Amino acid sequence: MKILAINPGSTSTKLAVYEDEKLLFEETIRHADAEIMKLPDLADQLPYRLESIMDALRLKSFNSIELDAVVGRGGMLKPMDSGTYIVDAHLLDDASSGKYGNHASNLGSIIAAEIAGTHQIPAYIVDPVCVDELIPEARISGLADIERKSHVHALNIKAVSREIAVEIGKDLVDSSFVVAHLGGGISVAALRNGRIVDVNNAENEGPFAPERAGGLPAKQLVQLCFSGKYTEKELLQRMTKQGGIYSYLGTKNVIEVEQLVLKGNPEAANILNAMVHQIGKEIGAMATVLGGKIDGIILTGGIAHSELIVGLIQEKISFLGKVFVLPGEAEVEALAAGAFRVMKGQEEAKIY
C-alpha cells in the first residue's frame, strides 16, 4: 500500500510518500512570500499548491496512480474525538468555508480530496488541532460567559504518546502521560487512557512561547483592550504572533536566545528562565489532573531540540516521573501512520 501525506503550512507544503509505513521520499515545497501574498484567500491557493505537489511528484518520477490513499493535515474544524477521519462533503464544506477558522492547514483535506478523487481512492485527515476530549470540569473557565475550548497540537502529541506507550510495553489506551509540545506555541496536555482530558489552549492559555503570550493577567488585559492603544485585530496579532519571547527580546528564534544567554545576557536569561518556569508549572498542573498517576512526561516539538531548555525543565519536573524527550514534529509521518492504521484494519475510520 502506498500513501501520500500532505501537510500545508503558511509558507510551505510538506509531502511524503510511504509504502507499507516505509518512507519512499519526502519533500518540502517552499512558497515565496510574494506568491502567497498574491493569493490571500485559501481557495485561491488551492490550484497553486496542488500544481506544486504534482510537480514535486513528477520530479521524483512518481505517478499518483500508484497511490492507495491520500491523507492531509486536518485544519480548523468542529470539535471532534481523536482519530482518522474520512474526508467527506461535510468536512470539505467546513474546511473550505472557514466556518471554524482559516488556516493553511485547512487545505490539507481539500488537496487530499482533489488528488484522491482523481483516482477513486480514499482521502483522510488525522488528529487535527480541534481534537476535543476534555472532561466536563476542564471546560469551566470561572466566568459563565466563557467556555474553555480545546485547541491543541494533537497530531504530534498523540503520535509521541503512541511511540512512548510502545516503548514501555503498553497500549496507548492503557497509558497516562503529561505531554508538552514545545514550539512556536506550547501545548501541555494531560492524557488519561490515551485521551487528552485537559490541555491549555495554545493560542491564549498556559506558558508563553517564542511568539505567543500565553495566559495573561485578566484584569490588566481588559484594561489594555480599552486603553485605545490597539485595535482588536492589532492586539490579537500582538498576543499570538508578536507575544512571548518576541515581545521582550525582538526575536522568535530560540537558538538566538540561547546564544544570548550563553554570552551572559541577563535579560535573555531572565526571559528564558521565565518561560521554563511557566512550562514546568503547567506540567505540574497537568500531573495533578491525572492524580499523579502517570507513565511519564514527554517533551516534544522543535524547542525540545535544545539541550539547555530541556535540561532546565527536567530540573523542575523530574520528581514527577520519568521524562522522555522526543524532539521535533514528525507530523507527516504521523499523518501516514494514522491512514495506515485504518487501511490495515487496526482502527476504524471515523465519520466527521
Going from N- to C-terminal start, the domains of the chain cover 2-131+331-343, 154-327
Q: Which fold has domain 2-131+331-343?
A: Nucleotidyltransferase; domain 5 (3.30.420)
CATH architecture, domain 154-327: 2-Layer Sandwich (3.30)
Q: From first to last of the 352 residues of the chain, give the pLDDT tens digit.
A: 999 999 998 788 999 999 999 999 999 999 877 777 788 788 889 999 999 999 999 999 999 999 999 999 999 999 999 999 999 999 999 999 999 998 889 999 999 999 999 999 999 999 999 999 999 999 999 999 999 999 999 999 999 999 999 999 999 999 999 999 999 999 999 999 999 999 999 989 999 999 999 999 999 999 999 999 999 999 999 999 999 999 999 999 999 999 999 999 999 999 999 999 999 999 999 999 999 999 999 999 999 999 999 999 999 999 999 999 999 988 999 999 999 999 999 999 999 9
How much is the pTM?
A: 0.93
Q: How many CA atoms lie within 13 A of 183 on its CB side?
A: 20
Are both 2-131+331-343 and 154-327 of the same fold?
A: yes
Cell of 159: 503520535
- The pLDDT assigned to 36 comes to 76
d(CA 265, CA 263): 6
- The pLDDT assigned to 205 comes to 97
- The pLDDT assigned to 320 comes to 98
Beta strands in the chain (DSSP E): 2-8, 12-19, 22-30, 69-73, 84-86, 123-126, 176-182, 186-192, 195-199, 296-301, 323-327
